[in-house]
Amino acid sequence: MAIQWFPGHMHATRKAIKERMKQGIDVVIELIDARLPGSSANPLLASLTDGKPSLKLLNKQDLADPARTQLWLDHYNALPGIRALPLDAGNKAPAKALVAACRELAPLRGGMSKPLRILICGIPNVGKSTLINTLVGKKSAKTGDEPGITKVEQRITLDQDAYLFDTPGMLWPRISIPESGYNLAASGAVGRNALDEEEVALELLDYLRLNYAPLLQARYRLEGSIESLKDDELLEAIGRKRGAVLGGGRVNMQKAAEILMYEFRQGVLGRITLETPEEFKSWAATAAIA
Ligand code: G4P
């Protein structure tokens, strides 16, 4: 599955990031989705930002499986030049923790003559606007006309000697790993038209059936063992339980898919993470061979 996401936008974003790097950046914050940390990271970012120290913020941690969030934090924190923190962007003002982590990554910066310069990046829907609004204490939404697209560079003062820069444009995910495409679609990070919803829901169910069966059973009151059901049988059972039935008693599979994905996105099913560091590594290795 090779999907090219909005190459025009991506080109402008790359230029904006490179331009900002030239003017000086000490630490790069990458906001990623705690439910799919590997898939929601942009693999080009390290080279675009000249390998600068990076703070990974695992946002939406309130929706993610806490044990798996810890696995991802351990994974990132073991890498040189990288720190990782969990985040719930709308809930708290995390400026102090962010600045402290960035100071650790760039210990030679600080003070009025050498202020700490931080760049923030993230793919669409990951919560960048929410975080920025929380940091500046605003309730209002996006900064541009188009949802999620910042038109001009913003500079936010986090501390007297620490600035956060938000470049214009949007960092799109580069999807060369099939599982990442499905996980991004399930999370709502890529548009509804990008992939067939029923197919995305079936892939999601396949993963949930194997990893989070008790949550599915509890939410949809499914009896017996669901591990042995095929994905479409399971989606049908969910549709039936939720009254997504057409004339003649047939299940409306599209509606069933929408219900499942809506409830996953809202966290109604429970706290779920769609990939572990180990799984993501093996998916990437398989995709590289293919
Ligand atoms: P973006 O700028 O990166 O594109 O993302 P944005 O901040 O617009 O956030 C996308 C959606 O994710 C928003 O929901 C936002 O409320 C939600 N969100 C952001 N951070 C968190 C978080 O830490 N936890 C949870 N649970 N949700 C978060 P929305 O449905 O598009 O809008 P609304 O619910 O705010 O009306």
Q: Output the pTM of the full model.
A: 0.92
**Structure confidence at residue 190 (pLDDT):** 81
Nearest to 131 by CA among 89, 84, 164: 89
Of 67 and 249, more confident: 67
**Structure confidence at residue 3 (pLDDT):** 53
Of 66 and 136, more confident: 66
How far does the centroid of ligand 1 lie from the alpha carbon of residue 134, in Å? 12
Residue 215 has pLDDT above 90, yes or no: yes
**Structure confidence at residue 146 (pLDDT):** 45
How far does the centroid of ligand 1 lie from the alpha carbon of residue 92, in Å? 14
**Structure confidence at residue 150 (pLDDT):** 55
Tally of CA atoms within 13 A in the half-sphere of 278 that contains its CB = 2
For a mutational test of ligand 1's pocket, the pick from 125, 142, 264, 272, i.e. the residue with the most ligand atoms closer than 8 A to its C-beta, is 125
In the numeric block, the tokens 């599979």 are attached to: 253
**Structure confidence at residue 44 (pLDDT):** 83
How far does the centroid of ligand 1 lie from the alpha carbon of residue 226, in Å? 32
Class of domain 178-289: mainly alpha
Highest mean pLDDT among 45-54, 82-91, 183-192, 263-272: 263-272
**Structure confidence at residue 52 (pLDDT):** 94
Of 163 and 150, more confident: 163
pLDDT tens, 162-175?
999 998 767 776 67
How far does the centroid of ligand 1 lie from the alpha carbon of residue 54, in Å? 22
Band (246; pLDDT cuts 50, 70, 90): very high
Residue type, 179: E
Strands (E), the chain: 27-33, 54-59, 82-86, 116-122, 154-159, 162-166
Residue 223 has pLDDT above 60, yes or no: yes
Predicted ipTM of the assembly? 0.96
How far does the centroid of ligand 1 lie from the alpha carbon of residue 122, in Å? 12
Class of domain 7-166: alpha beta
Mean pLDDT of 62-79: 98
| CA 82 distance to own-chain centroid | 17
Interior CA angle at 267 toward 265 and 272, to 5°?
A: 95
Band (144; pLDDT cuts 50, 70, 90): very low
Return the percentage of the chain with pLDDT > 90, whole number.
65
Residue nearest to atom 29 of ligand 1 (CA): 125
**Structure confidence at residue 2 (pLDDT):** 46
**Structure confidence at residue 138 (pLDDT):** 60
How far does the centroid of ligand 1 lie from the alpha carbon of residue 141, in Å? 10
What residues are in contact with ligand 1 under a 6 Å CB criterion?
A: 59-60, 62-63, 88-90, 122, 124-130, 148
Task: Tell me the domain boundaries of the chain.
Answer: 7-166, 178-289
Mean pLDDT of 93-99: 84
**Structure confidence at residue 93 (pLDDT):** 67
Ramachandran bin of 61, using left for φ above 0, alpha for ψ from -120 to 50, beta for the remaining angles:
alpha
For a mutational test of ligand 1's pocket, the pick from 130, 263, 268, i.e. the residue with the most ligand atoms closer than 8 A to its C-beta, is 130
As a whole number, the mean pLDDT across the chain is 88
**Structure confidence at residue 9 (pLDDT):** 66
Residue 5 has pLDDT above 90, yes or no: no
